[in-house]
Amino acid sequence: MEQYRFAKERLLPSIVERIPTIWNALYRLPTSQEGATNLMERLSTLTTGYTPDPEQESQEASYYDYPVLKQPFWSWEIIWYFFLGGLAAGCYVIATIASLFGSKEDRAVVRTGYYLSLLALLPCPLLLIKDLGRPERFLNMLRIFKVKSAMSMGIWGLLSFSLLSGLTAIIQAARDGLLGKWWGARLLAALPQKLLALPGSGFAFFVGGYTGVLLTATSVPLWSRSKLLGGIFLSSALSTSTALISAVLRIAGIPGNTLHKLEKMQWTALFVEIIGLLAFLRNTGRAARPLVGTGPDEHGPTFWRVEFGLGLLLPWLLQGFALLLGRSTAAGQRNRQGRGLLISLLVLLGGYFLRRTMIKAGHASSRDARTTLWNARR
């Protein structure tokens, strides 16, 4: 209670008083579009360590500025596949952690996590088939098992994870009485769910990160310059899945102790994602311009405002303040529920736009002939 009173009476007013000073001194955000563009350019230079020099870049060798690479054809199907696959993987991992190490009141996390994992997985094969154009192309990918191919390993990893996720969810449904009381439901309920969840979690970690590895395995400068995309996508999968489970449990009215554990996990995952993303930008350097720049074919405004600002930094700060204030009165608990739902929605928004902006910026990166040749000389 003393911690809450100190935060309310002294810490928060002090922070509020300093907001205008910090805003003006550090960010100097003007109201004009030109000023906002200049700010994002400064952020791009600061994070990537690269300052564009059009005169010097124009002297670099290229073949009449024709693109060296063929532009990827990935569109909304792959963006949603990456997002839903990450949600499915993260929900499964969180449910397994709660099953193995949680208390009795954490059983709600187990049930919710396994059900959400299966629901998020169901559209993934359909999205892949839609992207490939014909169903037989998806079946042809199952004829090959190639360890050195990220796409081949990804398909088999997705298939294995889908089987284990479906089986785990069916067992949970049988134990919850959703399948009735006939002998088949009793047989399913008796199966060792925790034992099956161990290899399932291994495949879940693989599915959560392989999409980033798949991008890294290409020749697109933005995607291939750094090797951190797999880790970024995995941490994003955990943060968005924690947000989704938390939102569902808040609506269902689950006790605060369970939500408090999820909040700490979400804050940690967001922190790891922010650090990984900043390290990715620094390692990528010049090749990150299509992602963070403000040029005609660059996606910096969406990245800085939506993905990084609204989807990462803001929910991380809000969640940190919520954990700092702790649990207090009943009115404070109601406010905390609303704030928690807002944080969850922001994190889910950031997870989607991470994949969307990364794919769109990769298209622009593949059209940059000089950066492609510069990247090939490393």
For the residues of 241-300, what is the DSSP string, one character each? HHHHHHHHHHHHT--HHHHHHHHHHHHHHHHHHHHHHHHHHHHHGGGGHHHH--STT--H
Q: How far apart are CA 34 and CA 301, in angstroms?
A: 12
CA-to-CA distance for 356 and 270, rounded, in angstroms?
Answer: 18
User: What is the number of H-type helices and E-type strands within the chain?
Assistant: 19, 0
Of 148, 149, 125, which is closest to residue 137 (Cα–Cα)? 125
pTM value is 0.85
Q: What Cα–Cα distance (Å) separates residue 141 from each residue in 38, 123, 124, 133?
A: 46, 18, 15, 13
- Residues of the chain scoring pLDDT < 50: 1-4, 6-8, 11-13, 15-16, 18-19, 21-31, 329-331
Query: Can you give the length of the chain in residues?
Result: 378
Half-sphere exposure of residue 152, counting CA atoms within 13 Å on the CB side?
A: 9
301-337, pLDDT tens digit by residue? Answer: 999 999 999 999 999 999 998 888 765 544 455 566 7
Contact yes or no for 344/243 (Cβ under 8 A): yes
At residue 36, the pLDDT reads 79
Task: Say how far apart CA 290 and CA 281 lie, in whole Å.
Answer: 11
Crossing angle for the helix pair 107-121 and 76-101, nearest 10 degrees?
160
Q: What is the fold, at CATH topology level, of the domain defined by 66-376?
A: Formate dehydrogenase/DMSO reductase fold (1.20.1630)
Q: Which among 208, 216, 214 is positioned nearest to 233, based on CA atoms?
A: 208
Residue 23 has what pLDDT? 41
* E strands, the chain, in order: none
Burial of 158 from C-beta contacts in 10 A (0-12 / 13-18 / 19+): buried
Q: What single-letter amino acid sits at 67?
A: P
259 phi and psi angles, rounded to 5 deg: -65, -35
pLDDT, residue 17, reads 53
Spatial contact of 108 and 260, defined as CB atoms under 8 Å apart: no
* pLDDT at position 11: 43
**pLDDT at res. 333:** 57
In terms of Cα–Cα distance, which of 258, 309, 252, 235 is closest to 95? 258
